[in-house]
Structure 1
C-alpha cells in the first residue's frame, strides 16, 4: 500500500506564520479605518460586487472606489496567511494539541469578517454594524494571538505563575479592556468620521460618550498600575514586565485619544488610535498569558525489571 508523502513543518516556521497572521489581521483593521477616514466606505456601493455590473472598481468611481476595493483585496491576502497556518499545523509531526481549532477559527473568522463588511455596505454604513465589524476583528486578532502564544508552549499542563487573587485581577482587567474597546466604537459612531458623506451617526452625544470612554480608560490604567506593583511584590517578574508593557501602551493610546479629541479628530490621529486599540488588546492578552505557563510533558518512567522468581536455577 502506497504511503502518503508528508512535509513536516518546523516549529519555528509555524510560529513565524502565526505571528504573520497577527500582523495581517491588525493591518486590515488599520486599512479598514483608512477606508472610513477617507470617506471611501461606499466607494464600492454594493457587495459582494463593487458595482451592480462589476466585481472590481471602475475608473468612474475614482479614488474612493480604489481604496475600498483595495481593502477588499487585502482580505484575500489575510486569508491566504491564515490558510498557510492551518496547513502548517496539519503538517506538523507530531501534531501539537489545541493548535488546529485556533488556526481553523482564525481562518473562518476572516470570511465571516468579509460578510460583516458587506453588511456594513448594504446597510449604508450603519454605525452599530460598523462597530460590530471592528469588534469582530478584535476577536479574530485575539484568536490569532492565542494561536501564536500556543505555538511557543509545550503540551504539558497549565500552572499558575501568580497567586489566585492576582489572576482574578488580571481577568477583571481584561474585561475592562474589552469594555473600553466596545465603548470606543460608540464614540466613533457618534463622531464625524462616518465613512461616507451620507452615512448616519448613532445619535449619542459625542461629548458625553467620550467622557464615559475616558472614565473606562482611567479605570483600566489604574488596574494596570495595580497589577504591575502587585506582580513585582510577589516576585512574578515576567508578569510584571507584561503589565509594564500594557501600561506603556495604554498611556500612549490615552495621549493620542486626548490629543485627537481636543484637535477635533484629525484623520491621522484617528488612524493611530485604531492601531493603538489593537496594541492595547494584544498587551492585555500578554498580561493574561503571563499569569500562567505550561509545563513540559514528563517522559514516562522506565518500567521496573521483572523480579527473578525465588528458587530459580542459576
Structure 2
C-alpha cells in the first residue's frame, strides 16, 4: 500500500517540531553544564571505555550527560522525518529539500562537536563553538518552517533594501551577542565539571562588553520596528520586530538579575533558553522582509490568507506600495 503524499500542513507540523527539538537540546545541554555533568560520561563516542551507556557507578551526572546524548537521536528522528516528507512532497520543492537536508547533516555535526568538548575535557573555547552550532540549526529550522507556509517561487522584498539590510544586521548582531555570551560563561563558575579550566578572561570585563553588544542589539531592533512601521511593512514583519524586542527585554532582565545574584544555575538555564528564542525571533524578523512568490501559472493557495492581510503593506521592487496580487481565474 502506497503512503499518501505529505502536504504543506504536514511539513509545517514537522518543521515546528524541528524548531522545538533544536531549542530543547540547547536547554538540556545547559542542564548538563549547570549540574556539573559535562564529564558524566568521561569519553566519546562511548560513555565509558567499556560501555556505550551510563551505569550506576557514574551516578546522577552520568545519567544527565547520557540523557542529553540520547536526545540527539530524538532530534535526528525529527529532522529525518522532515527530510523524508520534503523528498516525497509534490510538486518538488528544492528549497524544502535543501533546508531539511542541512538539518539532517547538522545532527552528526553537533554530535561530533559534543564529542570534542568531552575529549578536550570541556575546554571553554571548544564548548563555545559546540554551543554555536545550535543557533545555526535553529535559524535553518525557522527558515524551513516559514518556507512551508509559502510556495517555492522566487523571493521578493516586502520592504525597501536598506530596511531589509537593517533586519539582517540585527540577526547578525544576535549571533555576536550569543558568541560573546559563551565567552562570558567560559569565564564564570559554570564549567560543567569541577576539573574543567576557565578561559582566563576577567568576568566583569567580558560581562560589560556583552552588555554593550546587547544594548546595540536592542537599538537595532527598535530601529527595525520603527522602519517597518514607517515603510508600511507587512503585519507579520512588525509583529516579529515587537516579539524580538520583548524577548530581548526579558533576556536583559534575566541577565542582570543572574549577574547580580551570583549566577544561580536556574537563572542561567532560563537565560540560555531565552537566547535560542531570541535567535528564532531574529530569524523571523528577517523572513518578514521577503516572501516567496508563486511560480508563474500557479496559485499560492497555502499563503492566500497571508497575502490578503499583507497585500496592502507590500512594496514593489521600486519601493512603492504594491497592489494585492490577483488570483488566476
Q: Report the TM-score, using the length of structure 2 for normalisation.
A: 0.88
Give the alignment partner of residue 231 of structure 1, picking from 228, 231, 237: 228
Give the alignment partner of residue 36 of structure 1, picking from 17, 33, 36: 33
State the structure with more CA Rg.
1
User: After superposition, where does 1:81-92 map in structure 2 within 5 Å?
Assistant: 81-92=78-89
Question: Post-superposition shift, 1:17?
Answer: 0.5
Query: Which has the higher mean CA deviation after the structures are superposed, 28-37 or 133-142?
Result: 133-142
Question: Post-superposition shift, 1:261?
Answer: 0.3
1:260 matched to 2:258: yes
1:60 matched to 2:61: no
What is the CA–CA distance in structure 2 between the aligned matches of 1:6 and 1:270, rounded to whole Å?
45
Give the alignment partner of residue 169 of structure 1, picking from 150, 154, 166: 166
What is the CA–CA distance in structure 1 between the aligned matches of 2:224 and 2:138, rounded to whole Å?
23
What is the CA–CA distance in structure 1 between the aligned matches of 2:187 and 2:77, rounded to whole Å?
35
1:25 matched to 2:35: no
Deviation per CA, 1:148-187, whole angstroms, max 9, x where unpaired?
1111111222111111111111122122111111101100
What is the CA–CA distance in structure 1 between the aligned matches of 2:216 and 2:210, rounded to whole Å?
10
User: 2:142 maps to what in 1?
Assistant: 145
Question: Post-superposition shift, 1:97?
Answer: 2.7
SS at 1:153 equivalent: coil
User: 1:248 maps to what in 2?
Assistant: 246
User: 1:179 maps to what in 2?
Assistant: 176
What is the CA–CA distance in structure 2 between the aligned matches of 1:141 and 1:235, rounded to whole Å?
28
What is the CA–CA distance in structure 2 between the aligned matches of 1:231 and 1:138, rounded to whole Å?
25
Number of matched pairs: 297
User: 2:306 maps to what in 1?
Assistant: none
User: 1:49 maps to what in 2?
Assistant: 46
User: 2:273 maps to what in 1?
Assistant: 275
Q: Contact 1:85/1:103 (CA < 8 Å) preserved in 2?
A: yes
What is the CA–CA distance in structure 1 between the aligned matches of 2:205 and 2:130, rounded to whole Å?
23
What is the CA–CA distance in structure 1 between the aligned matches of 2:218 and 2:266, rounded to whole Å?
24
Give the alignment partner of residue 291 of structure 1, picking from 271, 289, 292: 289
1:198 matched to 2:195: yes
Unaligned stretches of 5+ residues in structure 1: 301-314
SS at 2:291 equivalent: strand
Q: Report the TM-score, using the length of structure 1 for normalisation.
A: 0.92
User: 1:97 maps to what in 2?
Assistant: 94
Question: Post-superposition shift, 1:28?
Answer: 0.5
What is the CA–CA distance in structure 1 between the aligned matches of 2:120 and 2:154, rounded to whole Å?
47
User: 2:311 maps to what in 1?
Assistant: none
Unaligned stretches of 5+ residues in structure 2: 299-329
Q: Contact 1:109/1:140 (CA < 8 Å) preserved in 2?
A: yes
Question: Post-superposition shift, 1:6?
Answer: 5.6
What is the CA–CA distance in structure 1 between the aligned matches of 2:271 and 2:219, rounded to whole Å?
20
User: 1:120 maps to what in 2?
Assistant: 117
Q: Contact 1:42/1:196 (CA < 8 Å) preserved in 2?
A: yes
SS at 1:159 equivalent: strand
Deviation per CA, 1:221-254, whole angstroms, max 9, x where unpaired?
0111111111111111332211111100000011
